Chains A and B, each alone.
Chain A
Amino acid sequence: MSGSSKTPISPRSLPEEEFFIGHKACAGCGGSLAVRLALKVTGPRSLVAVPAGCMSAVGFLYPQMSFSCNAIISTFAGTASMLSGMAAGARALGWRDVKVVGFAGDGGTADIGLQALSGAIDRRERILYICYDNEGYMNTGVQKSGLTPPGARTTTTPVGSTMRGSSGPKKNMFEIVAANGIAYAATASVGYPQDYLDKVARAASVDGTAYIQVLSPCPTGWGVPSHETTRIAREAVDCGLWVLGEYADGKHILNRDPGTFAPAAEHLRTQGRFKHLTDEDVARVERDRDEQWKKIRDHWLR
């Protein structure tokens, strides 16, 4: 990874060169921000795969291509397998210093793409897999995925007399890839860009599979103003509802402990998808949060 030997990239000193630009994403798209920032770290020798989903729908509209590095759309289920094949092909052809990077949404990662991701980790593929987590199938019009948080209203988990948004828990992808024995994993937020950029740099230099799950608000699907993306993403961390952590060398590391949490009720209710939550619902969210944080504070390194 070039970043490890050079000056670390910061939000104030981002390279001018754009690798994902001129796309047709919605205003305030957190996912496209995650892609744009990561590619500034991995650079022009990035070989990118993006599955069917938002980023491919907005970035590959023939004849207007939005990636200025090599890029391809994979099948929905095939991000990690296609990345693996690209890495194998590049190795066989003697291509040096390439970064094989994938960007898949939460549905493409935690649901339909989980098997291929597990296979790639199992094979110790030298690929960087970034999940831009906007907590639902946004490209198809905001349906529930395995990473939709409890209580969130989606078009398949509406709020009515018998259903009050998504009922299941949010699948813990971070622990899943860690249990899979991955070389490096991290959670990040587009609201904390320095932390995210550092993690991309570290992930790209790892000798093995790397996974980053970056919280990427979707103003369209979450029901927030398009200029609030980074604020919401930052607030989620400050409320303790999104953890900034790493898994490396078999150890869990906590990057940021807010100590006391900012109030969750306000953060949640400013989002259209959570507007219906009662005080009791919010209290349950906070209870779950506190339980999770107790485990983290007891067991993770800081």
Chain B
Amino acid sequence: MNGGSVPSRRRFLSGNDAVAEGVRLARPHVIAAYPITPQTTVVERLADMVSDGRLSTEYMYVESEHSALSALIGASAVGARTFTASSSQGLLYMAECLHYASGGRFPIVMMNANRSVALPWNILGDQRDSLSLLDSGWIQSYALDAQEALDLTLQAFAVAEHPEVLTPVMVNLDGFVLTHTYEAVDVPPTELADEFLPPFVTANRMDLDRPKSLGFVAGAADNTEFKYLQHVGVLNAAGVIADAEAKFNRIFGRKGGGLAEAYLCDDAEYILITLGSVAGTVRSVVDDLRAAGRRVGLLRLRYLRPFPGKEIAASIGRAKAVGVLEKDISFGHEGAVYTNVLSALARGGNAPPSLNFVAGLGGRDISRADIKGMFDILSDEESPRRFDSPVRFIGLRGAKAGLA
């Protein structure tokens, strides 16, 4: 600190801590949240910040997740910047309000700790909670690590509140694996954060000089147009995210990864597409396999809405086969991410054979050996019929033929 040296911005934070720091830097007017494992430490850290004066905000102790989001819709309707956090059952309890917030174009930011959904009860991480709400009209991002959790959180406000987007954003962190793992995180100073994120200004709010009605009824004659505009808002987010990342890089010196981030995909014959923290493990396995001379790559989806369809099509190149690894299953069909990826590949006119790897349900570990095994299956050219049963439950005990 002497002689004008710059104090270190690096701190040892969990994923949840990092989100709380990102929220603090965004200076929300109103925070409303209800505790649920493994989200709790986010709202605890925020309460600490309020308690010691580092954060000035209306911190609402609501009695449920439904009320948390309902309250924020009300706060956003008067023009306040808002934040909440939830997980799993809590996210589902909010589900009605998720559609409500996006339909009303209220740019609320939420952190979701990805967690399994009951039954059976399970507090550990998988992605079935947020993926079941892909159609709720929210922008969805999935963080790789604690640093990205902070960055995505701060950027989420800029994206959500952009007048051409006006759509709420859900920043997803894998429960425990990311929410509770500590890493070194660069926490930018508030002055720079203020430069990045201007105050929230919107015409979509109540106005004492020119009163208006919000959250109204629109019948068949007008409903399609409102829904179309909502669709356009989410599509517009793609460009706004790119701009926000460019500005972020200019101010903080840290690049973003866009909607999807390709790693060694250019000449890859076999590509694993995934999302969230497990991408870190996949990347490490890709490095090992590359060292052994195998042409493999990783495509990490950072956003699922707007969906990086063009980025996927562009990254696949000459791949002979692709796999989609997700902690999700849409029962009776396949994982939701896989469905979305297949649609993008079909649109791109280049759809190589593919497999859907369902893993990590209820917090089961996804090991390096598991991931190497996925690449092995994809590249096993001795078994041309390996694509006949596309959905593979990894590590299934008492495995039925074709499932594992």
Q: Please give the residue numbers on chain A whose beta carbons come within 8 Å of chain B beta carbons, in ascending order.
A: 44-45, 47, 49, 56-57, 59-63, 65-75, 77-78, 80-93, 95, 98, 115-116, 118-119, 122-123
A-B contacts, CB under 8 A, total? 154
In the complex, the chain A residue whose C-beta lies closest to that of B226 is A62
Check: B369 CB closer than 8 A to any chain A CB. Answer: no
Q: Is the CB of B71 within 8 A of A74?
A: no
Could you list 22 A-B pairs, sorted by A, with CB under 8 Å? A47-B78, A57-B217, A60-B215, A61-B216, A62-B217, A62-B222, A65-B212, A65-B216, A71-B214, A72-B77, A73-B215, A73-B217, A74-B70, A81-B67, A81-B70, A84-B74, A85-B72, A85-B74, A89-B79, A91-B58, A115-B64, A119-B67
Q: Is the CB of A89 within 8 A of B76?
A: yes
Q: Is the CB of B74 within 8 A of A61?
A: no
Q: Is the CB of B75 within 8 A of A89?
A: yes
* Residues from chain A with Cβ under 8 Å of B219 in the complex: 61-62
**Known pairs A70-B206, A73-B214, A85-B70 / 14 extra A-B pairs, C-beta < 8 Å:** A62-B222, A67-B211, A71-B213, A72-B215, A73-B216, A75-B100, A80-B67, A81-B62, A84-B74, A85-B75, A85-B76, A116-B70, A119-B63, A123-B61
Q: Is the CB of B60 within 8 A of A84?
A: yes
Check: B171 CB closer than 8 A to any chain A CB. Answer: no
Q: Is the CB of A118 within 8 A of B63?
A: yes
CB distance from A208 to the nearest CB of B (A): 16
CB distance from B131 to the nearest CB of A (A): 23
CB distance from A170 to the nearest CB of B (A): 24
Q: A84 CA to B71 CA in the complex, in Å?
A: 6
Check: B320 CB closer than 8 A to any chain A CB. Answer: no
Check: B180 CB closer than 8 A to any chain A CB. Answer: no
Q: A56 CA to B217 CA in the complex, in Å?
A: 8
Report the 3 A-B pairs with minimum CB-CB distance, sorted nearest first.
Answer: A85-B74, A85-B71, A119-B63
Of the candidates A70, A93, A116, the one whose C-beta lies within 8 Å of that of B211 is: A70
User: Residues of B within 8 Å of A, CB-based: how many?
Assistant: 41
Q: Is the CB of B30 within 8 A of A67?
A: no
* Residues from chain A with Cβ under 8 Å of B74 in the complex: 49, 72, 74, 81-89
In the complex, the chain A residue whose C-beta lies closest to that of B213 is A65
* Residues from chain B with Cβ under 8 Å of A80 in the complex: 67
Q: A227 CA to B61 CA in the complex, in Å?
A: 45
Contact residues of B between 199 and 251, Cβ < 8 Å to A: 206-208, 211-219, 222
Q: Is the CB of B63 within 8 A of A115?
A: yes
In the complex, the chain A residue whose C-beta lies closest to that of B57 is A92
Q: A90 CA to B206 CA in the complex, in Å?
A: 10
Q: Is the CB of A72 within 8 A of B213?
A: yes
Q: Is the CB of A62 within 8 A of B218?
A: yes
* Residues from chain B with Cβ under 8 Å of A61 in the complex: 216-217, 219
Q: Is the CB of B58 within 8 A of A62?
A: no
Q: A61 CA to B220 CA in the complex, in Å?
A: 11
- Given A85-B70, A89-B76, A89-B80, verify A123-B60 contact (CB < 8 Å): yes
Q: Is the CB of B57 within 8 A of A44?
A: no
Q: A172 CA to B317 CA in the complex, in Å?
A: 68
* Residues from chain A with Cβ under 8 Å of B68 in the complex: 81
